[in-house]
């Protein structure tokens, strides 16, 4: 195991969760649909909890969570640009367009977040001792929620776009109705959407 790169992954994962909190706070300024608002409020709370869980990992690894790395700076810059994009969309209007932008920004943020946790899960499988235990506990606590953040929001973005195009949409999206937690499940839910119209 390349320990330096594992530490880099943890720094980026912490920065991703911190940026994620800001992304959800701003996405909630753009949201119009009441169900999606409830969903994102829940995801914001979960993301705040994930940030706390990563901070606990830093204690287990005896790492300083304030240390800056070049990779971490890039993650922060991407997060800030997502927040800026939502502010621009909100200013420009119409509100429906800002909601679509917010859904796409959440997907972009959650794609990185989802991969970070998949990698943490992979490392946990290959590690031994106290650090492995800490990684495994964190991963098990977070993984299902991260799957929902990504796949359910992808469903929302697709259906809200379809609705905006004037076509029949499945709202809430099939991913949410079917409690999708895997990429295969998301593909199945998407394939079955026409039956749900
Ligand atoms: Fe997430």
| Model pLDDT for residues 46-85, shown as the tens digit of each residue | 999 999 999 999 999 999 999 999 999 999 999 999 999 9
For residue 66, give the nearest of 25, 109, 10 by alpha carbon: 10
Residue 197: the pLDDT is 86
Residue 48: the pLDDT is 98
pLDDT tens for each residue of 169-192: 999 999 998 899 999 999 999 999
Centre of ligand 1 from the C-alpha of residue 63, in Å: 22
For 169, the token pair is: 């949409």
Centre of ligand 1 from the C-alpha of residue 20, in Å: 7
Centre of ligand 1 from the C-alpha of residue 41, in Å: 12
Give the C-alpha separation, 160 to 137, whole Å.
Answer: 36
Q: Please tell me the pTM assigned to this model.
A: 0.96
Centre of ligand 1 from the C-alpha of residue 26, in Å: 15
Are 160 and 103 contacting, i.e. CB atoms less than 8 angstroms apart?
yes
Centre of ligand 1 from the C-alpha of residue 150, in Å: 7
Centre of ligand 1 from the C-alpha of residue 166, in Å: 30
Centre of ligand 1 from the C-alpha of residue 194, in Å: 28
């Amino acid at each position: 195991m390349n320990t330096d790169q594992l530490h880099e992954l943890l720094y980026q994962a912490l920065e991703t969760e911190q940026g994620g909190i800001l992304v959800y706070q701003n996405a909630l300024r753009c949201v119009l649909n009441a169900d999606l608002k409830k969903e994102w409020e829940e995801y914001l709370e979960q993301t705040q909890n994930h940030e706390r869980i990563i901070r606990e990992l830093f204690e287990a690894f005896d790492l300083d969570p304030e240390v800056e790395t070049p990779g971490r700076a890039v993650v922060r810059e991407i997060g800030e640009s997502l927040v800026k994009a939502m502010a621009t969309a909100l200013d420009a209007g119409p509100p429906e367009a800002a909601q679509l932008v917010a859904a796409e920004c959440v997907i972009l943020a959650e794609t990185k977040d989802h991969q970070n946790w998949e990698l943490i899960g992979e490392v946990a499988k290959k590690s031994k001792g106290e650090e492995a235990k800490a990684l495994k506990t964190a991963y098990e606590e977070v993984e299902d929620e991260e799957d929902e953040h990504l796949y359910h929001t992808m469903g929302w973005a697709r259906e809200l776009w379809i609705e905006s195009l004037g076509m029949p949409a499945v709202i809430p999206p099939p991913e949410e109705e079917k409690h999708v937690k895997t990429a295969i499940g998301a593909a199945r839910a998407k394939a079955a959407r026409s039956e749900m119209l």
